[in-house]
Amino acid sequence: MTNMLILLRHGQSEWNEKNLFTGWVDVRLTERGRSEAARAGALLAESGVLPDVLHTSVLSRAIQTAHLALDSADRLWIPVRRSWRLNERHYGALQGLDKAETLQQYGEAQFMEWRRSFDTPPPALDDASEWSQAADPRYAGIDGERPRTECLKDVVERLVPYWEQEILPDLTGGSTVLVTAHGNSLRALVKHLEGISDADIAGLNIPTGMPLVYEVDDRGTPSGPGRYLDPEAAAAGAAAVAAQGR
Ligand SMILES: O=C(O)[C@H](O)COP(=O)(O)O
């Protein structure tokens, strides 16, 4: 049996607009982000890919995106699961920094190593920083696992168990699953789904607000690469993400 999986990065956030490293900082959508999310839902409705269950991160921008998309698709009523395991990569001490200034200060090689290498995390964020989540009640139950920085490898390691234990059973149970998450948590999931190498994943950028659809078999293997419902807009959006900081 084939099962439908939809991956959706949140719409433009306030810090995407300001060009700041965000990670686990809980910023909201901009007006443009809200319309991207609503359009994503309209695309789902037009294509007849209607979610039966939603999995989101615990960050507001992904939750807002899901709500707006499901509203346009008239599916606000579906069951919802939320997990920190779908959160954006924790960007460590880069959280709150301007991407262009960081590029200028540290140079292209270091900037890209932090943004796109598979296994080099940025320096850890101090718990006393204003951008730390140390006192955030939503992470109270995961203290041993709450990161202070993460590379993409760390994200794969915390996300794949959630994929296997929580998302896959919904899919194989016959539900069309919508996952609303983030640029790097979705890069981690796409890497796992498509078997992309540690080196090649550096070249993959996920645009904001663009539904990416997979047909997945009962073992969780996709029938082919993901398909954007609006490929042209998705390519332009991915190019804009790749160019951030420049
Ligand atoms: O956390 C962030 O800053 C963005 O959501 C993703 O940023 P990146 O494309 O620079 O990794």
List residues with catalytic annotation.
Answer: 10, 88
Residue 23 alpha carbon, nearest atom of ligand 1: 1
The protein residue with its alpha carbon nearest to ligand 1, atom 2, reads: 22
Neighbour tally for 96: CB within 10 Å:
17
pLDDT at 2: 79
Q: Who contacts 140 (Cβ-Cβ below 8 Å, separation ≥6)?
A: none
pLDDT at 218: 87
Q: Who contacts 83 (Cβ-Cβ below 8 Å, separation ≥6)?
A: 55, 57, 58, 162, 166
Residue 91 alpha carbon, nearest atom of ligand 1: 1
Tokens of 187: 């890069």
pLDDT at 246: 83
Residue 15 alpha carbon, nearest atom of ligand 1: 3
Query: How much distance in Å is there from the Cα of 86 to the middle of ligand 1?
Result: 14
Cα separation, 194 vs 158, whole angstroms: 18
Q: At 153, is the secondary structure helix, strand, or coil?
A: helix
Cα separation, 73 vs 48, whole angstroms: 9
146 is in an annotated binding site: no
pLDDT at 111: 97
The protein residue with its alpha carbon nearest to ligand 1, atom 10, reads: 115
Q: Give me the sheet containing 3-9, strands edge to edge.
A: 80-82, 53-56, 177-181, 3-9, 212-216, 227-228
pLDDT at 140: 92
Q: What pairing do the DSSP bridges indicate for beta strands 80-82 and 53-56? A: parallel
16 is in an annotated binding site: yes
228 is in an annotated binding site: no
pLDDT at 185: 98
227 is in an annotated binding site: no
Nearest-10 Cα torsion for 151, 157, 160, 165:
-140
Residue 13 alpha carbon, nearest atom of ligand 1: 5
Q: Who contacts 95 (Cβ-Cβ below 8 Å, separation ≥6)?
A: 21, 22, 23, 24, 25, 125, 129, 131
Please give the ipTM for the structure prediction.
Answer: 0.97
Q: Which residues of the chain have pLDDT under 70?
A: 1
CB 131 within 8 A of CB 125: yes
Domain annotation for the chain: domains and CATH numbers: 3-242 (3.40.50.1240)
Cα separation, 236 vs 94, whole angstroms: 26
Nearest-10 Cα torsion for 48, 36, 159, 227:
50
Pocket of ligand 1 (CB under 6 A): 21-23, 88, 91, 115, 182-184, 241, 244
Write the CA distances from 207 to 25, 100, 139, 178, integer angstroms: 19, 19, 27, 16
pLDDT at 8: 98
Query: How much distance in Å is there from the Cα of 21 to the middle of ligand 1?
Result: 6
CB 94 within 8 A of CB 21: yes
pLDDT at 141: 87
pLDDT at 145: 87
Query: How much distance in Å is there from the Cα of 46 to the middle of ligand 1?
Result: 29
Strand partners, 5: 177, 214
Place of tokens 């609503």: 38
Query: How much distance in Å is there from the Cα of 56 to the middle of ligand 1?
Result: 17
- Could you say which DSSP state residue 230 is in? S
